[in-house]
Amino acid sequence: MIGNIQTYIGCLTIILTAYAGCRASADDRKSSFPDDVSWELVWSDEFDGSDLDTTKWSYQIGDGCANRLCGWGNNELQWYTRENAVVTDGNLVIHARHDPGAETQFTSSRIRTLNQGDWKYGKFEVRAALPTGQGLWSAIWMMPSDNAYGSWAASGEVDIVEALGHLPDRVYGTLHYGDRWPENTQSGDTLFFDDTAISEFHTYSIIWQHGKIEWFVDDTKFGEQTSWYTSGHEFPAPFDKRFHLILNVAIGGAWPENPDSTTTFPQQMVVDYVRVYKPNTEAPPN
């Protein structure tokens, strides 16, 4: 979720605190979801209960200061709580709220699968509707479970999808890698929607293999990366170790900037399901 300089597939763009990558629209997306692989479901949450399944997820609470990362590393405004994540009507709903009279004016939720769901390679799929409005920053992403190559971003970060609420016509898929901050780098792609928006349900997914990661929206590919590094280690490091999933809605920060008079609260990320697959090597290709 952190980044200042981007190198995008198919074009080179250097930017400050904003993404401006290669444009992929509904008319020129790169290819369809691969149909030559059979997948086996190995982990999922359909959010069919009445509470968050804490055998699968844990909460990250607070403003990051307890982790020596005040503002979660991005000057974000929110305090993460348990109460802002609810399971209702077959969905997970993460509420982003603003209470001007409260000690913590902005609240939201952030949940992760660390030590309850950790994977190396596979297909990761989330169906979700994302919030809109100035200062809203939603993310479905993955972080290393073991930090085998060192602190961020030497051990990597995979952003399955990020969205800025004031730019509801686009989503971003990004890798972070290289070396420890501030010697890190990142690369990714941007998908521009033609006749829909982030506030509608879309299926966001990646296929992560040895030496290659592909990004999809609604089963149509918009990004691929096959070149990255972490200092002092051989390719495909750092994306050759276990990672876990994170879902959150941030408020404010260096990238989206802060909410303003146009921002309405509450806002929600609504998640229909989260699914993780591995290739079924016993079954023939479709």
Which tens digits make up the pLDDT trace of 29-69?
A: 556 666 677 899 999 999 999 999 999 999 999 999 998 99
pLDDT higher than 60, residue 23 = no
Calculate the alpha carbon distances from 266 to 93, 106, 168, 249 in Å: 11, 10, 17, 12
Query: What pLDDT, in 10s, does the model give residues 207-220?
Result: 999 999 999 999 99
CA dihedral 62, 97, 85, 176 (to 10 degrees): -60
Distance of CA 82 to the CA centre of its chain: 19
233 CB burial (10 A radius; 0-12, 13-18, 19+)? middle
**DSSP per residue over 44-87, as a string?**
EE---SSS--TTT-EE--BSSGGGT-GGGGTT---EE-STTEEE
The residues annotated with a catalytic role in the active site are 157, 162
Count CA atoms within 13 Å of residue 140 on its CB side: 30
Q: Output the six-digit token pair for 45.
A: 């949450």
Query: What pLDDT, in 10s, does the model give residues 61-91?
Result: 999 999 899 999 999 999 999 999 999 999 9
Helices and strands (DSSP H and E) totals, the chain:
0, 21
Query: What pLDDT, in 10s, does the model give residues 89-119?
Result: 999 999 999 999 999 999 999 999 999 999 9
37 CB burial (10 A radius; 0-12, 13-18, 19+)? middle
Domains located in the chain, CATH noted: 38-279 (2.60.120.200)
Amino acid at 200: E
pTM for the model stands at 0.89
